[in-house]
């Protein structure tokens, strides 16, 4: 094969819990055309879910298979690729050693996706497919991705995601966790259902009137086949009653009988039952009469971003819209002032954009600044006395659509400082951070505190601001027709730390507007 033959080709490697996969594709007249694909079965998930680690034997087998993948990539002349790993490698105790050896032995850089990253990428593709097909009914939609070791759920209200949760359980992990009980329990299906209910009871899906259910996972193609449903325009549309009937039948059978009746391996039969049990928990209580399952995967989203530059920009905008939507709903839950949050957010973004030549941060950090502005008051719902610490804890432990745990941590740190407090980088939690991470937090905190100061009264006295950089000053001109003595005091309190970070003295100038 000749490299010149495939000038616009790219590759995606997916290190999954039960299989290694390679996909090679190229851009043909604006469309993504698949050139080749490989798959290699490997029980990474079983090892990690039962023993906590990936054995050296398993690693050597993985490294050998991936060497074959990279060899094929060289034949196609691939220069751009993305190698990702999901639940199994994410949860492996020896993840660092495995990633290091893949880099050393295979010259392969692997990104370990967090559960929310994986879910968000897949849902972006699913939403596009469903909107193009025009099959969804008006109203709220439940999106659920059932992986080998995680369940990602989200609720879409017709314009944006308003709810997001990730559960540390999946079809394979459920099977491995409760496998020892199967030989002891006469009614194993009841044990599984009780366990799942104990997890799903905290999802609080009853707050939404779900008119659409969208399920995706490795087992949906098989489930659709067993329900006698064929795909239409790349989407399986399965009546809820057929899924319920299939589950009612499967739950009465042992794995060997399932395998024999449906023509699958016994291992697949065990995972099929676990997957159906999870799907039943998701379906229960919804008013939807059918389930949509588009034939899209993580590969589709990753390959699109590699081959179509425009899609990366669109994806960034998609994440921002949905993250802000989820954060706003969380803020409402904790009775945060929407007007105050919007004022702080607008001012903070204006400062961030004007300071870009000095801070060098990107869209990801700008979004974290926005999220901090939206959520910084949520701690008051828990504790007036220690609201800053409470805000930190709430934000740190809350799932926000499309935001990684690292991004949530930065958001939490930014939101937990006001005019009275600044980061103390001598504290243990900061000492353990890379210096570059502390610097990012310091920059965002410096901007956030000044923005928050300009609405200290919570009365939105300032209509708009303009920011100019002049010599060693940042001049903030605020338009208002009211007295802002309190805001001016708070601004001065926050100016000292800002100057330490950026080397600029903030100066507040008031421009009176006519009433």
Rounded Cα distance, 320 and 301, in Å: 17
Write the DSSP symbol of residue 463. E
pTM over 0.85: yes
Neighbours of 144 (CB within 10 A): 24
Nearest alpha carbon to residue 137 among 199, 76, 211 = 211
Is 448's pLDDT higher than 80? Answer: yes
Q: Please tell me the predicted confidence (pLDDT) of residue 6.
A: 67
* Contacts of residue 365, Cβ cutoff 8 Å, sequence gap at least 6: 410, 440, 443, 444
Rounded Cα distance, 501 and 358, in Å: 10
| Residue scoring higher pLDDT (240 or 171) | 240
Output the CA torsion sign for 284, 299, 321, 376.
positive
Is 188's pLDDT higher than 60? Answer: yes
Instruction: Please report where in the chains the tokens 């590969």 appear, as a residue.
Output: 299
- List of domains in the chain: 3-113 (3.30.420.40), 116-302 (3.30.420.150), 308-457 (1.10.3210.10)
Please state the rounded mean pLDDT for residues 369-385: 95
Q: Please tell me the predicted confidence (pLDDT) of residue 1.
A: 46
Q: Please tell me the predicted confidence (pLDDT) of residue 269.
A: 83
- Bridge partners of 479, per DSSP, are 464, 511
Q: How confident is the model at residue 313 (pLDDT cuts 50, 70, 90)?
A: very high
* Contacts of residue 110, Cβ cutoff 8 Å, sequence gap at least 6: 13, 15, 83, 84, 85, 89, 99, 102, 103
Q: Do the strands 140-146 and 110-112 form a parallel or antiparallel pair, or are they unpaired?
A: unpaired
Q: How confident is the model at residue 3 (pLDDT cuts 50, 70, 90)?
A: very low
| Residue scoring higher pLDDT (254 or 308) | 308
Output the CA torsion sign for 14, 20, 21, 22.
positive
Is 222's pLDDT higher than 60? Answer: yes
Output the CA torsion sign for 306, 312, 315, 320.
positive
First to last CA, the chain: 74
Q: Is 385 in contact with 375 (CB distance < 8 Å)?
A: no
DSSP tally for the chain: helices H, then strands E: 21, 14
Q: Is 213 in contact with 142 (CB distance < 8 Å)?
A: yes
Please write the tens of the pLDDT for every residue from 45-72.
Answer: 889 988 999 999 999 999 999 999 999 9
Is 267's pLDDT higher than 50? Answer: yes
Q: What percent of the chain has pLDDT over 70?
A: 97
The total number of residues written for the chain in this structure: 515
| Residue scoring higher pLDDT (123 or 254) | 123
Please write the tens of the pLDDT for every residue from 91-118.
Answer: 999 999 999 999 999 999 999 999 889 9
* Burial of residue 108, with CB atoms counted within 10 A of its CB: 0-12 exposed, 13-18 middle, 19 or more buried: buried
Nearest alpha carbon to residue 269 among 285, 246, 303 = 246
Per the prediction, the chain carries an average pLDDT of 91
Quote the tokens at residue 60. 């050597």
Q: Is 235 in contact with 285 (CB distance < 8 Å)?
A: no
Instruction: Please report where in the chains the tokens 């937990």 appear, as a residue.
Output: 416
Please state the rounded mean pLDDT for residues 36-45: 93
Rounded Cα distance, 418 and 396, in Å: 18
């Amino acid at each position: 094969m000749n490299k010149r033959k495939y000038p616009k080709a790219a590759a995606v490697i997916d290190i999954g819990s039960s299989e290694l996969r390679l996909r090679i594709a190229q851009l043909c007249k604006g469309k993504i055309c698949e050139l080749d694909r490989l798959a290699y079965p490997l029980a990474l998930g079983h090892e990690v879910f039962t023993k906590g680690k990936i054995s050296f034997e398993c690693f050597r087998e993985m490294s050998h298979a991936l060497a074959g993948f990279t060899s094929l990539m060289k034949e196609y002349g691939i220069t751009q690729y993305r190698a990702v790993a999901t639940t199994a490698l994410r949860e492996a105790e020896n993840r660092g050693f495995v990633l290091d050896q893949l880099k050393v032995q295979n010259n392969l850089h692997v990104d370990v996706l967090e559960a929310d990253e994986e879910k968000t990428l897949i849902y972006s593709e699913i939403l596009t497919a469903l909107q193009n097909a025009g099959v969804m009914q008006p109203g709220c939609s439940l999106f659920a991705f059932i992986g080998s070791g995680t369940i990602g759920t989200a609720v879409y209200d017709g314009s944006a995601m308003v709810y997001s949760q990730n559960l540390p359980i999946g079809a394979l992990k459920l099977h491995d966790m409760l496998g020892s009980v199967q030989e002891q329990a006469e009614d194993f299906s009841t044990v599984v259902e009780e366990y799942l209910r104990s997890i799903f009871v905290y999802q609080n899906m009853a707050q939404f009137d779900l008119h659409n259910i969208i399920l995706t996972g490795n087992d949906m193609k098989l489930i659709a086949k067993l329900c006698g449903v064929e795909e239409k325009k790349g989407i399986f549309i399965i009546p809820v009653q057929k899924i319920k009937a299939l589950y009612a039948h499967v739950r009465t059978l042992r794995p060997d009988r399932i395998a024999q009746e449906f023509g699958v391996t016994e291992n697949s039969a065990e995972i099929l039952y676990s997957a159906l049990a999870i799907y039943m928990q998701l379906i229960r209580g919804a008013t939807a009469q059918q389930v949509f399952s588009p034939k899209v995967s993580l590969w589709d989203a990753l390959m699109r971003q590699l081959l179509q530059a425009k899609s990366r920009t669109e994806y960034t905008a998609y994440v921002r819209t949905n993250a802000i939507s989820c954060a706003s709903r969380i803020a409402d839950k904790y009775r945060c002032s929407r007007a105050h949050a919007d004022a702080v957010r607008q001012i903070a973004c204006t400062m961030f954009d004007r300071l870009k030549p000095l801070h060098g941060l990107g869209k990801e950090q700008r979004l974290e600044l926005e999220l901090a502005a939206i959520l910084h008051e949520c701690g008051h719902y828990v504790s007036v006395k220690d609201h800053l610490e409470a805000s930190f804890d709430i934000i740190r432990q809350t799932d926000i659509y499309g935001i990684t745990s690292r991004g949530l941590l930065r958001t939490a740190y930014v939101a937990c400082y006001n005019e009275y407090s600044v980061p103390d980088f001598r504290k243990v939690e900061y000492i353990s951070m890379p210096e570059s991470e502390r610097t990012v937090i310091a920059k965002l905190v410096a901007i956030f505190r000044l923005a928050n100061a300009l609405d200290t009264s919570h009365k939105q006295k300032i209509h708009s601001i303009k920011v100019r950089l002049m010599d060693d000053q940042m001049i903030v001109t605020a338009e208002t027709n009211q007295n802002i003595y309190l805001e001016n005091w708070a601004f001065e309190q926050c100016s000292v730390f800002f100057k330490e970070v950026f080397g600029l003295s903030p100066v507040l100038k008031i421009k009176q507007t006519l009433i």
